[in-house]
Amino acid sequence: MIDTGTELDRYRPLLRLHVRQLQLGRLYRARFDSSDVVQESLLRAFRGIDQVRGRSEAELVGWLQKVVAHTVIDLVREHSAAKRDPGLERTLCDAVDDDETPLGAYLTATEPGPSAQAVRKEELLCLAAALDRLPEAERDAVIAHYILELPLAETATRLGRTTRGVGGLLFRGKRRLSALLAAPEDLA
């Protein structure tokens, strides 16, 4: 029977191979380094070594592979739970109302998974329809400042207006845009 972490450590190469064989999706391979998974698995194995039911090396290896599988499952669950935390999720309406984060940054953020990409595509279509409903001067100001992220002075220069005038256009445009996006059924 194994009594120390050093003795368990000799199984590290075998466990690393096992992690590779689990064929984690590309997303999870990017999130979890195989050496981190192996390290966490060995730590869990050391803590639970008294749970090994067999005495042979084959039984120990089988048990270690189960520990690796459970570690991966736990990491995927943690990742999924963190990703779906409603407190962390932002909607297009949130992005429009947020003065700290540029709308352009929200629009260019990539979302993993087909369903998230479909939602993003739908949001972009709603935004395009909402922008189309704004008066032309407000639309031009909102696109230049919030989406292209041009400074206020440069936006004013490009639009041939004063910075104060552009500030008013942005205020009204953003308010109208928020109202339109809050009722997307009206955009059809």
pLDDT of amino acid 80: 53
| Topology of the domain comprising 92-187 | Arc Repressor Mutant, subunit A (1.10.10)
- pLDDT at residue 1 greater than cutoff 60: no
* Higher per-residue pLDDT: 53 or 174: 174
- Chain segment 40-71, per-residue pLDDT in tens: 888 888 888 877 777 788 888 888 888 888 78
Write out the two tokens for 156: 């004013």
The residues spanned by each domain of the chain are 5-83, 92-187
What's the predicted TM-score (pTM) here? 0.48
Which residue shows structure tokens 């445009």? 173
pLDDT per position as a tens digit, 62-120: 888 888 887 877 776 665 554 444 444 456 767 776 666 566 666 666 666 677 677 77
The string of DSSP codes covering 102-169 is -HHHHHH----SHHHHHHHHHHHHHHHHHHHHS-HHHHHHHIIIIIS---HHHHHHHHTS-HHHHHHH
**Per-residue model confidence (pLDDT) at position 90:** 57
